[in-house]
Structure 1
């Protein structure tokens, strides 16, 4: 697979919505679209998104303007997300309210039960509305900001400033480190019991993603890296990160928890992982994350191996 195909397999990455950037600056057109029967609205409240229960899981609860205003009141602010087929999507911040059309649920908690298309759409809505919520005031002068360009630009209202603010995404690396037939796993104390994952951390200013791989692995585990290869990426809307996935080869084996960010780190073979899953002494990261995908791709290199089948055998709830 190429990188585009690999990334499309990561949850939140299966974006089928045309973001239609040319529509954002057409304020008159957007005003007409809001009242159109072809528009649908995605309410977001804090970290919770509006969803509808289905037999197979959840779907985004997409509301017409009439349905939205009957439940949440007059629409006074929005972000234009784009179009798909004959529909135009808008996201808006609301106060939680009961509705026959759906319910609010934490996106992280319900993501595994969403279809890929709706997971990507809700991820997009949650991430950009979180940015909007945290940028009510100009970072340069402190004056209030107002929305422009379909909600994708916030402009300072101070005449002496007028600075434009754009959505922020923080890049972070996440890496599966190999040494022979073993892979490196780390554990944070606040994670669920027995859960281990790959090494991850934010890219620092003036640093390439590959340099961040080398630095983060050394800081957290003391392991030196001799090579790193890009795997895929995943938008991670908690609150607004772009995860850059890597596979790396270790140049050393001795582990040292240098910065104390990890509670534990260890080398594990496929056999040890299989045994740990069977006995409950090892838990994988949730499969909505790119960390699971990195581990899965490494584990499945052995003919006939399937990490997902093995995990589901012992942990039905995933």
Structure 2
């Protein structure tokens, strides 16, 4: 079976990093009517007919010009403008999370470009001053570098690795094999998801899986198998998916991040998903893909 989260990372653009300092080339590509530009208001975009609105350079407002790269014979840019200078009505501009379902419906062809654009917009939004001396920062390298005007130190975009895992117990593939899902107290009734957390300094990804599961639900995990990954610029993460095998099954939630956690057999998961008492993450998330990978097929309902 194919997984939407993998489709969203497929067919990426060529980022042509060697062109980011070539101002003559950048100006030439900007003057090409075939070039496409995504306008980003702060960290939001404006969909048109359910899809992100790519415009010609002549129709783009003034702002920070960011080179995304080349794809399908075109050059692609983003322009980041302050929210109060965004064209149209404020309500027309949506966060990336709200646009993800549309990406899945259209096959996700534009997803790598959008993730790149929004990820850089989030970084520019959060990185206002030099972390060393608090000096003002100026953008260079077509939006991929910030240089301090006081101390000269450069800042580059960061990506935070986060692990996300489906934890299983019992004989693999058996009718009584179970998978572990948890929920937060702020979620609507019936909503459950895979566990997740950020990797800490000096920690391997596999140990991060074991630590996060132990901290959140008190279950000890042994074997950890890599599944896949998904860029998640909300604001700056790379979600690394794993399947973990439980060595213990007693649950003790931390009552801080996790309100409740449950083991589900495949039959229980199917019955509750069909009844609507179990609501799983949306199809574009790697969490959904992990659950359906374990289950062995698609399930009804989503956030």
Question: TM-score when scaled to structure 1?
Answer: 0.85
Alpha carbons 2:43, 2:125 under 8 Å: kept: no
Q: Does 1:140 align with 2:132?
A: yes
Spell out, residue by residue over 1:188-217, the C-alpha distance to the aligned partner (whole angstroms, 9 max, x if none): 011232110111000011111111001000
Alpha carbons 2:42, 2:125 under 8 Å: kept: no
Question: TM-score when scaled to structure 2?
Answer: 0.89
Q: Report how many residues are paired.
A: 289
Deviation at 1:293, TM superposition (A): 0.3
Number of the residue aligned with 2:99: 110
Query: Residue 175 of structure 1: which of 156, 165, 170 is its match?
Result: 165
Q: Does 1:90 align with 2:77?
A: yes
Alpha carbons 1:49, 1:106 under 8 Å: kept: yes
Spell out, residue by residue over 1:103-142, the C-alpha distance to the aligned partner (whole angstroms, 9 max, x if none): 5333212211122012222121111111012212111111
Aligned-pair RMSD on alpha carbons?
A: 2.0
Number of the residue aligned with 1:303: none
Alignment of 1:1-318 (within 5 A): 9-10=5-6, 12-53=8-49, 58-68=50-60, 72=61, 75-94=62-81, 95=83, 96-98=86-88, 103-114=92-103, 115=106, 116-158=108-150, 161-180=151-170, 181-258=177-254, 260-300=256-296, 306-308=297-299, 311=300, 315=301
SS at structure 2 position matched to 1:133: helix
Deviation at 1:15, TM superposition (A): 4.2
SS at structure 1 position matched to 2:124: helix
CA 195–11 in structure 1, closer or farther in 2 if over 3 Å, else same: farther
For residues 11 and 157 of structure 2, the distance between their equivalents in structure 1, rounded to whole angstroms, comes to: 18
Alpha carbons 1:176, 1:183 under 8 Å: kept: yes
User: 5+ residue gaps in structure 1?
Assistant: 301-305
Deviation at 1:11, TM superposition (A): 5.3
Alpha carbons 2:227, 2:242 under 8 Å: kept: yes
